[in-house]
Amino acid sequence: MPDWINIVRNRIAPLRLEPAAECSLAEELAQHLEDRYHEYRSGGAVEEEAIQKALSELDDLYPLRAELQGRHGMAKYDPVQDYTALSGNFMGEI
């Protein structure tokens, strides 16, 4: 049986996710592929066919990329400071 986690990591590397998000996604997708592989095998597919069918689910990463950009597209920033409360001392405010 293939090493699903390494296959998934190689396939999603171009997405350039944060390490924690990549790890989580890789584990989830690897489990999905393993489950699909077992489904295909129990359905009568030979090993190579089951592997290819499971891997075909990773062929189109564009929908995944769009979904991830929606979730992780913006970096976290500190909230904008209320400048009305500043003392007027520029160096002190920095």
Length of the chain: 94
Task: Name which of 9, 62, 12, 8 is nearest 33 in CA terms.
Answer: 8
Helix (H) or strand (E) holding 1: none
pLDDT of residue 9: 92
Q: Please tell me the distance from the alpha carbon of residue 63 to that of residue 69, in angstroms, as a whole number.
A: 10
Summarize pLDDT for 17-56 with one digit per residue, the tens. 888 888 998 999 999 999 999 999 999 999 999 999 999 9
| Region of poorest pLDDT, from 45-49, 63-67, 74-78 | 74-78
Q: Please tell me the distance from the alpha carbon of residue 33 to that of residue 50, in angstroms, as a whole number.
A: 10
Helix (H) or strand (E) holding 5: helix 4-12
C-beta separation of 33 from 54 below 8 A = yes
Residue 8 burial (CB count, 10 A): 22
